[in-house]
Amino acid sequence: MDDAIIIGGSFAGLAAALQFGRTLRKATVLDTGSPRNRFASHSHGLFGHDNRTPREILELARQQLATYPHVSLVDARAVHASGTLDDFTVVLGNGESLQARRLLLSYGRTDHLPDLPGFAECWGKTVVPCPYCHGYEIAGQHWGLLYHSPMSLHMPPLYKHWTDRITLFTDGHDLPAEERQALAERGVQIVDGKVSAIRHNGGALSAVELADGRAVEIHTLFAHPPSTPSSDLHQRLGLATSASPIGEIVTVDETQQTSVPGVYAAGDLANPMSSLTVATHAGAMAAIQTQRSLIV
């Protein structure tokens, strides 16, 4: 039996695995190889790894983990999880079962990209979600923002820190008059009408096209597609969840412990702030607390 099974072996999961390896705890990491930022040409803001590709960072972590004999990295999907403290079972896609005393869920979230021509081709390159991740390289350029909910209205004041050239595409949504006025006072241009396509060349965006035939040239479009947890295992285990600005997240305390004893969660699954730094911190915290909980 493992001390812990980690479901999801990306930034949060591998950060946890490193702590298990170093504390001589037997851990198995299950992973299907689809980190959320896999579409990004480069990754930014992770200390010591700035401007590497996501794959490079994860491959380096996997190479380093391979030197720890207590950690097993397994390319497999977890399809079922059940049990209680000290006696959890995880079933893999091939039917095999694994047992562990603790579980760490770090399977992240899946972004549901809109069915908008050009969006998927540009996602992670010139259609991006986060100014902290992508803003530095495009400071001073013309930024667009695709409206998706009232949360979108909080973005332009933040973006102003990087650029004065901001266009909000309402995408057919009605904006209250007072919100329009507040945005206009900040120098934000508002373009009404339904967006029909992202014009691009090999992922390099050139303009946002509108259903009425207009095209607005911009450099980069910020967008926040809806996302959901990448698996339903937290539901199968009966974990408490809470609503957040990005949707349902697994509820954890400051030690990353969920509502079910012995089950921990870390990374985007349990935190509305999508960030490699936050995910790796949470993964390490979850593993350290798990390790402590195993001391008799």
Q: Which residues bind ligand FAD (CB under 6 A)?
A: 7-8, 10-13, 30-37, 39-40, 43-46, 77-78, 106-108, 111, 124, 129, 133, 230-231, 267-269, 274-277, 279
> In angstroms, what is the minimal distance from the CB of 103 to ligand FAD?
12
Considering beta carbons, is residue 66 or 184 the nearer one to ligand FAD? 66
Considering beta carbons, is residue 175 or 268 the nearer one to ligand FAD? 268
Considering beta carbons, is residue 108 or 175 the nearer one to ligand FAD? 108
> In angstroms, what is the minimal distance from the CB of 236 to ligand FAD?
11
Q: Report the distance separating Cα 181 and Cα 187, nearest Å.
A: 10
> In angstroms, what is the minimal distance from the CB of 133 to ligand FAD?
3
Considering beta carbons, is residue 164 or 253 the nearer one to ligand FAD? 253
- Residue of minimal Cβ distance to ligand FAD: 267
DSSP string computed for 92-105: ETTS-EEEEEEEEE
Tell me which residue of 296, 292, 259 sits closest to 105, measured CA to CA.
259
Considering beta carbons, is residue 152 or 275 the nearer one to ligand FAD? 275
- Let me know: does 222 contact 144? Beta carbons within 8 Å: yes
Q: Report the distance separating Cα 279 and Cα 266, nearest Å.
A: 7
> In angstroms, what is the minimal distance from the CB of 214 to ligand FAD?
27
> In angstroms, what is the minimal distance from the CB of 105 to ligand FAD?
9
Cβ neighbourhood burial of 44 (10 Å; 0-12, 13-18, 19+)? middle
Q: How far is CA 156 from CA 55, 69, 161, 210, 221, in A?
A: 31, 49, 9, 21, 12
